[in-house]
Amino acid sequence: MEKKNIFTKQQVFRNLHNILIIYGKKMQELSKNDQELRRIEELNLLEEAGLNAYPCSFEKTHSNSFILENFSDDDPSPLADVAVAGRIMSLRRMGKATFCHIQDEEKKLQIYFKKDEIPDFYENLKLLDIGDFIGVNGYVFRTKMGEISIHAKNVVLLCKSTKILPITKEVVDEQGNKVVFDEFADKELRYRKRYIDLIVNPDIKEVFKKRAAIINEIRNIFNEKGWLEVETPVLQPIYGGATARPFITHHNALDFDLYLRIADELYLKKLIVGGFEAVYEISKNFRNEGMDRMHNPEFTSLELYVAYKDYNWMMETTENLISAVCKKVNGSFVTKFGDLEIDFTPPFRRAKMFDLFEQYLGENIRNFSDEELVKICEKNEVELPANASRMKILDELFGAVVQPNLIQPTFVIDYPLEMSPLAKSHRSEKGLVERFEMFVAGFELTNAFSELNDPRDQRRRLEEQSRIRAAGDDEAMTLDEDFLNAIEIGMPPTAGLGIGIDRLVMLLTNQKSIRDVIIFPLLRPEKI
């Protein structure tokens, strides 16, 4: 019996989708050079006609959003004389009339050109393309089709685009999902050419506007408390403050190596030693590590240090800060993250680290030897690097077994001393330190300590880190004599906090990858 190929509607749709993408890309490549040559010719013709295709400025009076939100059919007079500017995103010529849409930072707005009202410029409209910038003077009205538009009285070319924007086509599948057909459906290409992504997919601007709002709100909260924002060195002779591999550079004039900072911590603590009682920094840090949806080698971090406080106080401060920021930018304590609903209503859950180990491993591992911990890792299929330190073993085990279960905001508290070289020893639990990390949606968002200020203990801890480093762990901390000297001068009881700003933005904007909230993420070089 002859076999028949039977395809579901979904399979047919997917095949059509793929065919359209391949066909579209090939056609674009075939015509791209011709179209770009045509644009250059148009530019030459415009300049021959005496038009400056790249003027210095244009006096814009109104945004597209303001016009769309404030136009009134009952009284159009307040918008009888406006000047708008933006990029042409559509163009429709109809003999004696032409319509286009221009896009400014926020919205698209229709422009209506009438031949007999702008005779000098009208002939030049045929030399304009999608992607060009224009400035328009005119009045606002509503067309017969009901669309708020600008009736152009004067037009100025502001920039001639000589490259072609990707053409975006959309269809809706049987499940109601919007499917976009264009070369910019490729995520990596969107990251690589973000300037085009912002044009073709203007909705992503909202992510970066919200990112700015999140950072501004943090600043507002801290500044209202009188805490001082500072700037510490990015180039450091000795890196420290975290367990991470640094980027190394070289200062030619002084002829010595420098490191891009992996954390702000040590310098900020020196400021506490110097007499400031509350300092914070929102800054770029750099770690020469792997890249995935949660890690970028260049990232933004907040660090805060407040004298005379401890990690309990900092836990309250952290939950109040994050919940307030969430409420401010999203209008609610509850935010959507993928299929999850994350509730930032304070107070957040608190759980001891070894209690969580026991909950998810089924046994208390607090007093296990290194060898026993390795066996636990093998049993749970947790891969370890060769010669892993106890710090590394516990960190990898927690990340694999416990962390994925921490969905709602959870403060994991009271870490083993081996994992926290800069944290103060626990006041009542031997072998532990006063540290918490906050986890949300299965990933770490914050790290905080009651800061270690005993210079003797701090030296012992950093010397142990040096031994671990010598044994092969190149992420272990280095011994910084200047920092130790500062602690010896004397640092008051202090609470410290670090927050990954990029991850916080991911949570509050419902973005699954850190690359979606970093406007120009680092990528591998393009293959030529």
Structure tokens at 510: 């419902």
| Residues 472 and 341 placed together within one structural domain of the fold | yes
Look at residue 22 in the predicted model and tell me its pLDDT: 58
The domain in which residue 428 lies consists of 232-348+408-516
pTM beyond cutoff 0.85: yes
Under a CB-based contact definition with an 8 Å cutoff, are residues 277 and 227 in contact? Answer: no
| Residues 501 and 412 placed together within one structural domain of the fold | yes
Task: Indicate the number of domains in the chain.
Answer: 2
Decide: residue 198, CB within 10 A, 0-12 exposed, 13-18 middle, 19+ buried.
Answer: middle
Q: Give me the CATH number covering residue 111.
A: 2.40.50.140
| Residues 238 and 153 placed together within one structural domain of the fold | no
Look at residue 477 in the predicted model and tell me its pLDDT: 87
- Residue 457 belongs to a domain: yes
Q: What is the pLDDT of residues 326-381, one digit of tens each?
A: 999 999 999 999 999 999 999 999 999 999 999 999 999 999 999 999 999 999 99
Under a CB-based contact definition with an 8 Å cutoff, are residues 425 and 458 in contact? Answer: no
Under a CB-based contact definition with an 8 Å cutoff, are residues 285 and 263 in contact? Answer: yes
- Residue 510 belongs to a domain: yes
Of 132, 159, 186, which closes a domain? 159
| Residues 142 and 261 placed together within one structural domain of the fold | no
- Residue 432 belongs to a domain: yes
| Residues 337 and 429 placed together within one structural domain of the fold | yes
- Residue 174 belongs to a domain: no
Of 114, 138, 159, which closes a domain? 159
| Residues 131 and 260 placed together within one structural domain of the fold | no
| Residues 422 and 341 placed together within one structural domain of the fold | yes
Q: Give me the CATH number covering residue 324.
A: 3.30.930.10
pLDDT (mean) for 60-70:
97
Structure tokens at 200: 């073709």
- Residue 186 belongs to a domain: no
Closest CA to 495 of 333, 262, 321, 297: 321
pLDDT (mean) for 112-135:
93
| Residues 102 and 242 placed together within one structural domain of the fold | no
- Residue 365 belongs to a domain: no
Q: What is the pLDDT of residues 237-267, one digit of tens each?
A: 999 998 889 999 999 999 999 999 999 999 9
Paired with 157 in beta bridges are 134
- Residue 173 belongs to a domain: no
Instruction: Give the distance, in angstroms, between the CA of residue 52 and the centroid of all CA atoms in the same chain.
Output: 38
User: Residue 1's pLDDT band (boundaries 50, 70, 90)?
Assistant: very low
pLDDT (mean) for 503-524:
96
Decide: residue 92, CB within 10 A, 0-12 exposed, 13-18 middle, 19+ buried.
Answer: exposed
| Residues 301 and 414 placed together within one structural domain of the fold | yes
User: Residue 26's pLDDT band (boundaries 50, 70, 90)?
Assistant: low
| Residues 329 and 431 placed together within one structural domain of the fold | yes
- Residue 219 belongs to a domain: no
Of 121, 140, 159, which closes a domain? 159
Look at residue 387 in the predicted model and tell me its pLDDT: 85
User: Residue 11's pLDDT band (boundaries 50, 70, 90)?
Assistant: low
Q: What is the pLDDT of residues 33-56, one digit of tens each?
A: 888 999 999 999 999 999 999 999
The set of residues, in sequence order, having a beta carbon less than 8 Å from that of 435 and lying 6+ positions away, is 311, 413, 414, 415, 419, 420, 423, 447, 448, 449, 450
